[in-house]
Amino acid sequence: AFAMWAADRVEEMILFEDPDTVAAFFLEPVQNSGGCFTSPPAYFKRVREICDKYDVLLVADETIDGFGRIGTMFASERYGLEPDMLVCAKGITSAYQPLGALMMTEKLFEPFKHGTNIFSHGYTFAGHPVACAVALENLDIFDEEDLVGNVARNEAAFKKTLEKLKDLPIVGDVRGAGYFYAIELVRDKKTKESFNDQESEKLLRKFLSNHLYENGLYCRSDDRGDPVVQLAPPLTIGQTEFDELEQKLRHSLSIAGEMFELM
């Protein structure tokens, strides 16, 4: 019900702005900001219907979600999302070389493919041969080592291992998909009361980020919204690394809970 309500807000905003002035709607299949929020396939289906109704392009931002992170090559596949355009980066080269890409449907590309139109944007590094060579080799390795398959086979075990942390007073939620998860931190487990800005500063910036790093775990602590620790581990790992990751998180989060005298 909430997913449909959220999708209908997209239509509401398009009408508020005037459909003739709205070129495109961008979304992340798994929302990064705020901490790995997932949506049911029905949400994406409804958004697709709304965009078609008002002739608005639907653009999937898979800068983070793409290239196996969610258990399929692109997260759009997993959720049945059919975007007109898809933007991606990062995983396309596994970060060995900076590169981003824009994909689009044949319908959108047709005027540029056979027409006289030119996409008149000048990018200094567009089509960089070294970056593109790295991407091609990287994607070959994805296939050779079945990295996307590794995520799909192990994501349930990853989730189950992380959910062990729910017994800690400071952990309010564990959510995400594939190898992309967030651990939401709360002051009160029953009411889900969050930390105020000053407490978040103390918790995340002054303690948790550094302690996790010193404890051998490099991850992201985010206080945009409710405080979360985000995890996006290498696509190559399995249960041995899951267990180590859980133990390191448990150690740091337990100390964090004691700092705020959480019981």
> What pLDDT score was predicted for residue 82?
95
Contact 194, 174 (CB under 8 A): no
> What pLDDT score was predicted for residue 263?
56
Nearest alpha carbon to residue 62 among 91, 104, 99, 21? 91
Query: CA-CA distance, 73 to 69, in Å (whole number)?
Result: 8
> What pLDDT score was predicted for residue 110?
86
Query: CA-CA distance, 44 to 50, in Å (whole number)?
Result: 10
> What pLDDT score was predicted for residue 29?
97
> What pLDDT score was predicted for residue 133?
97
pLDDT tens over the chain, length 263 residues: 788 999 999 999 999 999 999 999 999 999 998 899 999 999 999 999 999 999 999 999 999 999 999 999 999 999 999 999 999 999 999 999 999 999 999 999 888 888 777 777 777 778 889 999 999 999 999 999 999 999 999 999 999 999 999 999 999 999 999 999 999 999 998 898 998 888 888 888 888 989 999 999 998 887 777 899 999 999 999 999 999 999 999 999 999 999 887 75
CATH 3.80.10.10 fits 2-144, yes or no: no
Which residue in this structure is represented by tokens 């050779």? 144
> Any idea where the domains of the chain sit in the sequence?
2-144, 147-259
Q: Which listed CATH number (3.90.1150.10, 3.30.70.890, 3.10.580.10, 3.40.50.300) goes with 147-259?
A: 3.90.1150.10
Question: Model pTM greater than 0.85?
Answer: yes
